[in-house]
Amino acid sequence: MPKGKNKLSLGPLPWDLEQLHEAYFRNFIETTKSIEEHPGFALQDDLDSLIFTLRLFKSAAFDFFKTYKDFKVEVLSGELFDKINSQQLEKLEFRIRKALYIHSSTVMTVVDHVRRIAEKSDIHRFTTPGMLFSTDERHRFIQDLRNCLTHVKAIKPNWQIKNTLGEGIQVSFLLNRQALANYTEWNKLSLKYIEKYADGIDIIKLIRNHITPFLRFQVQFIDWYDKYTRECRLDYQRYSNFVKALNSKSHWNIILSQIIIPNKIDPYKQLHKYLTRQELEMIHTMPHRSKQQIDRIISFVDEHNACDSELRDLAYKAFNILE
């Protein structure tokens, strides 16, 4: 588990909630910032970041194959290579190159994020961390390809069309060895992979065969990291939610006691700002201006369980309940 700071602004953990309450009302801005010194905040931030980058990777993979599919549909139309459609062909080729660039970049983004997290964690507890791809020629080639596309040259894959008996029209995009030779820093594993394909590397097959094991590994790592850091993150969230509840209570106290009630504003006309359409529909099926209805509204709005009996009575007054 990553080590937290030696000195925390709010004192050593665990924090006393009563003292946290006092600190909040002394200086709510500084107290809110100080909560983020809890080691669980950094762990949650890392987990959220990794989940986002993996989502980015999946989105890039989807876009890549969508672009390939669009190209193939145009090829099957039989008109893509007519002179009149030259601009459309150019656009599709650009999309393929763009999709390849973005996909290879997102692969490395995920890898780099995992490495950064691994450096701060007791990673040996995760079964064979990173070892799954350490000797994988295909994976190493994709990493180096990203470096090539980013730092040296945006290689243009050459499309190839074959009409094979029994298989129909097959469309491939090939990276030829001559173009790859522009990059001189290929890893040994990458060179071995390149040498296997004298006619060029089919990027469609390359990415299709890489996605499943890569994604499986990252999902397993996220699942492990989630469980490994859960206790610390939940501890952080307990304090964070406590402060958010104090903030929410203060906010609604001001809104109800200083704005809604003295100005006799009808809160029902404001509900569309805070409730979903489904929640509004449910509210309107309940007895109008009843405690039951107001309690349900509060349950929808109160994310951090900030509503105590005092604030609830204030809400009843604001809604001018009939009972």
Q: Is residue 181 part of a domain?
A: yes
Is residue 256 situated within a structural domain?
Answer: no
Q: Is the pTM of this model over 0.85?
A: no
pLDDT computed for residue 81 by the predictor: 79
Rounded to whole angstroms, the Cα distance separating 68 from 95 reads 9
- β-pairing, 168-175 with 201-202? antiparallel
Instruction: Count up the domains in the chain and report the number.
Output: 2
Average pLDDT per consecutive 10 residues, the chain (323 residues; last block may be shorter)? 66 96 95 96 95 96 94 86 86 92 94 87 60 78 92 86 73 90 92 93 94 91 93 97 96 96 95 96 94 96 94 95 67
Q: What is the pLDDT of residue 105?
A: 94
Which pLDDT score, from 0 to 100, does residue 3 have? 46
Q: Please report whether residue 70 resides in a domain.
A: yes
Let me know whether 225 and 117 are in one domain. Answer: yes
Q: Whole domain around residue 174: which residue ranges?
A: 39-230
Residue 152 and residue 46 share a domain: yes
Q: Is 274 among the domain residues?
A: yes
Q: What is the pLDDT of residue 121?
A: 75
Q: Are residues 84 and 186 in the same domain?
A: yes
| Spatial contact of 194 and 137, defined as CB atoms under 8 Å apart | no
Please tell me whether residues 117 and 174 are part of one structural domain: yes
Q: Based on the fold, state whether residues 220 and 305 are members of the same structural domain.
A: no
Q: Note the pLDDT of residue 132.
A: 54
Q: Residue 14 domain-assigned?
A: no
Does residue 17 fall inside a structural domain? no
Note whether 53 and 179 are same-domain residues: yes
- Same domain, residue pair 78 and 147: yes
